Structure 1
Amino acid sequence: MEPRDARGYHPVRSLMQTIQFFDQIEIRRASAYHVDMLKGPGLPSAHPVSLPVHDNLVTKAYRLVRSLDKAVPTVHIRVRKYIPMGAGLGGGSADAASILRWAGQFMSAPLPAKDAAVLGMDVPFLVQGGTAKASGYGEEVEHLPPLRDWYVLLVSPNFGLSTRRVYEAFDALNLAHRPGHTLEEIVEALRQGILPDNLFNALEPAAWTVNSALQSLKETLTSLTSKPWFLTGSGSTYFTLLRDRDEASAIKHRLQKQPLARLSHIEVAEFGEPGTCENPENI
């Protein structure tokens, strides 16, 4: 993570990975555009779904492709949310990327990455998913052969973090950082089944400044599991990586039995590979 540049953004170098944890999106032809945002089973009440039709990434993605190519049909979209909102898991961006993938079958030309990046710097990556290195503002994506046989254990508190506030704290703390190791070294270790000891998130100290409960959560998780924990994006979810699903599930069940304050969601998910839209009328 580098300092803000002349455009007011932070250039980054990041390893990005999709996982098998997703929202459900149904798309059906309709006489007028409409979107419903519904809460999926298991999503805690601490994460309300109250996005207005005109102010969410699904609508913005649809309007983008519709403005570029009128062959994209008018539809009714229903989104059932399973990914906690404001948790640094990219749920909104992944939903937007799903709309772009679906729309691609109707468009005369592929949507350029720079246009997809208007919706969010992680959207160009999520259109394809899998494993990738991202640089620039996140829109320069180099897809890599998929990493396999890794499981991620996610722990989300019952509060989200404002990305804007985290970046403001990052600037105030003067945390711009260029690591001595490379993403290539991290990828190679993961490919060999080794959890690298140099994984880190440059935004973590800033996130702790925004909400100190995050630091306490990490300390508690480390103490209870003897595993290293890492922050997702700008927060607020923590994750650890394991090679064995049974071990990940056992830790999940152990944590669920603990009286952890301000905890809302624990999930085990496998690393995902590049995905495609399976059905033009019903994703």
Structure 2
Amino acid sequence: MRISVKAPAKINLTLDVLSKRPDGYHEVEMVMTTVDLADRVDLTLLDSGEIALDCSASFVPDDMRNHAYKAATLLKERYQVRQGVRIYIDKQIPVAAGLAGGSSDAAATLRGLNKLWNLGLSLDELAELGAEIGSDVPFCVYGGTALARGRGEKITHLTSPAACWVILAKPPIGVSTADVYGNLRVQQIANHPPTEQMLRAIRNQDFALMCDSLGNVLEEVTLSLYPQVRQIKELMAASGADGVLMSGSGPTVFALVQKEGKVHRIYNALRGFVKDVYVARMLGGSETDVLA
């Protein structure tokens, strides 16, 4: 038996860091939503009991360093599953990009194996397991749009934001999330994102207010460490984007655009500067269905 699961990328509409926690993590408050740039995770039942992983991107690890492999191992051990699985990830989301590609693959693996192994777990139970793998995994289990608190695992579901185009550009660099957080001085953050204003914009499907409410406290850290990220952001704004923000710890920057005519202009401007440019739509709603 084989099933396929969609694993969509996420973007941060807001990302605020409130404090450093005793456990070493940071207390965050983030508004996140999914876009239709997605990996596909194929899961094939194995009677042998082994977990095997392969990926279309050769540099992606195929062991416990991979969140999808970790998700399968966690489920198998926690629920004493005798069967195994062969995992194949068709990678479309760029790696180490601030788009939660690895977390989304893990979430897709949890959802898919719940069906493949007939475990009968709820999404809430899967999200709780996901929190043991990574901070973004619980959000990715649900998909859609949400406010995430704690270290990212406390999820409040939101309605879909105003529909729009999302243009994503990733410079040819990797960014270490640990390095970015390590360089963040929480007490010195001058401008916290207007989270409540963003929630109102989403509730009212107010596109202009959503663009005005974008904010990410990690952005200044990453922009100071990687000038290419700043250049992409400035190019998007100069090309007519309605709203521009870095996602997560970077280095991917996204532009929100409501009029389709602007999409091609911004895409072409970016393609002259970086190779990895993607045009997507904001999904907004939940994308947790397991594909046949």
Report the TM-score range of the alignment, normalised by the length of the smaller protein: 0.7 to 0.9
Aligned mate of 1:264, from 275, 279, 282? 275
Q: Is the 8 A contact 2:236 2:244 kept in 1?
A: yes
Distance in 2 between the 1:58 and 1:141 partners? 21
Q: Quick check: 97-106 or 168-177, which moved more?
A: 168-177
Displacement of 1:278 after TM fit? 2.7
The number of residue pairs the alignment matches comes to 267
Q: TM-score, normalised on structure 1?
A: 0.85
Q: Which residue of 2 aligns with 1:84?
A: 94
Instruction: Provide the TM-score with structure 2 as the length reference.
Output: 0.83
- Alignment of 1:56 with 2:70, yes or no, is no
Q: Offset of 1:168 from its aligned partner?
A: 0.6
Are positions 1:229 and 2:244 aligned together?
A: yes
CA contact (8 A) 2:166 2:282 kept: yes
Deviation digits for residues 124-169 of structure 1, max 9, x if unmatched?
Answer: 1111101111111111101122235222111111112000000011
Of all paired residues, the percent bearing the same amino acid is 28
Output one character per residue of 1:66-116: Cα deviation in whole Å (capped at 9) or x when no partner.
Answer: 112134731111111111101101100000000111122322443253331
Larger strand fraction of residues: 2
SS at match of 2:230: helix
Structure 1 position 215, deviation (Å): 1.8
Match of 2:104 among 73, 94, 97: 94
CA RMSD of aligned residues (A): 2.3
What corresponds to 1:127 in structure 2?
Answer: 141
Decide which moves more: 240-249 or 80-89.
240-249
Distance 1:224 1:85 in 2: 26
Query: 1:233 Cα shift?
Result: 0.3
Q: Does residue 19 in structure 1 map to residue 35 in structure 2?
A: yes
Distance 2:148 2:181 in 1: 18
Once the two structures are superposed, the pairs formed by residues 106-125 of structure 1 within 5 Å of their partners are: 106-110=118-122, 111=125, 113-125=127-139
1:209 aligns with 2:224: yes
Structure 1 residue runs without a partner (length 5+): 40-47
1:8-47 to structure 2, matched below 5 A, reads: 8-30=24-46, 31=48, 32-39=50-57
Q: Is the 8 A contact 1:116 1:124 kept in 2?
A: yes
1:7 Cα deviation from its structure 2 partner:
1.9
User: Does the alignment pair 1:278 with 2:290?
Assistant: yes
Matches within 5 A, 1:179-198: 179=193, 182=196, 183-188=198-203, 191-194=205-208, 195-198=210-213
Q: CA deviation at 1:230?
A: 0.3
Q: Secondary structure at the match of 2:43?
A: strand
Q: How does 1:245-264 map to 2 (within 5 A)?
A: 245-256=260-271, 258=272, 260=273, 263-264=274-275
- In 2 relative to 1, CA 179–159 (structure 1 residues): closer, same or farther, beyond 3 Å? closer
Does the CA-based 8 Å contact 1:36-1:53 persist in structure 2? no
Distance in 1 of aligned mates of 2:65 and 2:234: 36
* Per-residue deviation, residues 231-250 of structure 1 (Å, max 9, x unmatched): 00000000111223443234
Return the alpha-carbon distance in structure 1 between the equivalents of residues 82 and 221 of structure 2: 41
Letter in 2 for 1:192: D
- CA drift of 1:192 comes to 2.8
Contiguous gaps of at least 5 residues in structure 2:
1-16
The letter of the residue matching 1:265 is D
Q: Which residue of 1 aligns with 2:233?
A: 218
With over 3 angstroms needed to count, the CA separation of the structure-2 counterparts of 1:94 and 1:149, relative to structure 1, is: same
**Aligned-partner Cα distance in 2 for 1:278–1:199:** 31
